[in-house]
């Protein structure tokens, strides 16, 4: 692109580094910001700077938080003996939205991925082991993506955790609720037949 301004080119370059944002989209976003008032642009950039500088991670579950301990870990209404292990804060938000879970979380901050150079040491696994060691944890739910990275991480965590006196479970996999059989992919359908459950369990 032939930019008429180095400042413009530089800002478009920076926007283009965001995931899923190409050069043309970056230019559109930058020109949009340029049309806004000084105050509005200031609010935009300050919200990011402030987030980056002041954000904290809960010392217990490592979820993003404004305080040393997140609201969920600080709540006495939650079951602290039930820990749901997730990849990142988006998963916490998704599970909280279901209103089906009353335990607490543990945010790994990623999944084991040799392809991307992410090993167990890059994740908050030690913190999870420490929580289990206290002896107050009854069950750990591994709520990770049903991908290669998710399965690798589940396997690694299972091997680390099985020596402790704690129940380890994974979230159920199968066809979606409301899903029509003819549209389900082969692997999911095949696996959900192989891992069929007694009718009584599904209606409980």
Site of interaction with its own copies (CB under 8 A): 1-8, 10-11, 13-15, 17-21, 25, 27-34, 38, 41-55, 58, 63-66, 70-72, 88-90, 92-93, 96-97
Nearest to 123 by CA among 93, 83, 150: 150
- Tell me which DSSP letter residue 188 carries: H
Helices (H), the chain: 6-16, 23-35, 38-54, 71-74, 89-98, 125-133, 148-161, 186-194, 199-203
Q: 3-class DSSP state for residue 100?
A: coil
**Least Å from the CB of residue 24 to its own copies:** 9
Identify which of residues 16 and 174 has a Cβ nearer to its own copies in the complex. 16
Burial of 86 (0-12, 13-18, 19+ CB in 10 A): buried
Residue 129: CB minimum distance to its own copies, A: 23
Which lies closer to its own copies via its Cβ, residue 72 or residue 161? 72
Whose Cβ is closer to its own copies: residue 66's or residue 158's? 66
Q: Could you tell me if 81 and 136 are in contact, meaning their C-beta atoms sit under 8 angstroms apart?
A: yes
Compare residues 104 and 161 and give the one whose CB is closer to its own copies.
104
Q: Which one, 113 or 138, has the nearer CB to its own copies?
A: 113
Q: Toward its own copies, which CB reaches closer, 44 or 158?
A: 44
Q: How far is the CB of 199 from its own copies (least distance, A)?
A: 34
Residue 85 · residue 143 · CB < 8 Å: yes
Contacts of 130 (CB under 8 A, 6+ apart): none
CB of 109 to its own copies, least distance (A): 9
CB of 35 to its own copies, least distance (A): 9
Minimum distance from residue 157 beta carbon to its own copies (Å)? 22
| 22-to-7, 15, 41 alpha-carbon distances in Å | 18, 8, 21
């Amino acid at each position: 692109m032939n930019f008429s301004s180095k400042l413009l080119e530089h800002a478009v370059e920076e926007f283009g580094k965001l995931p899923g944002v190409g050069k043309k989209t970056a230019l559109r976003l930058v020109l949009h910001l340029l049309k806004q008032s000084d105050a509005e642009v200031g609010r935009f950039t300050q919200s990011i700077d402030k987030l980056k500088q002041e954000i904290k991670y809960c010392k217990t579950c490592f979820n993003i938080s404004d305080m040393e301990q997140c609201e969920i870990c600080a709540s006495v209404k939650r079951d602290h003996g039930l820990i749901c292990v997730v990849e990142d804060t988006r998963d916490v938000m998704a599970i909280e939205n279901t209103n089906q879970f009353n335990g607490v979380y543990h945010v790994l901050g990623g999944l084991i991925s040799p392809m991307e150079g992410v090993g167990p040491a890059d994740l908050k696994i030690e913190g999870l082991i420490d929580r289990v060691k206290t002896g107050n944890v009854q069950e750990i739910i591994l709520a990770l993506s049903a991908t290669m990275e998710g399965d690798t991480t589940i396997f690694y965590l299972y091997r680390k955790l099985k020596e402790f006196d704690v129940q380890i479970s994974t979230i159920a996999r199968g066809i979606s609720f409301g899903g029509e059989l003819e549209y389900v992919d082969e692997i999911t359908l095949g696996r959900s037949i192989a891992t069929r459950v007694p009718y009584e369990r599904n209606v409980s």
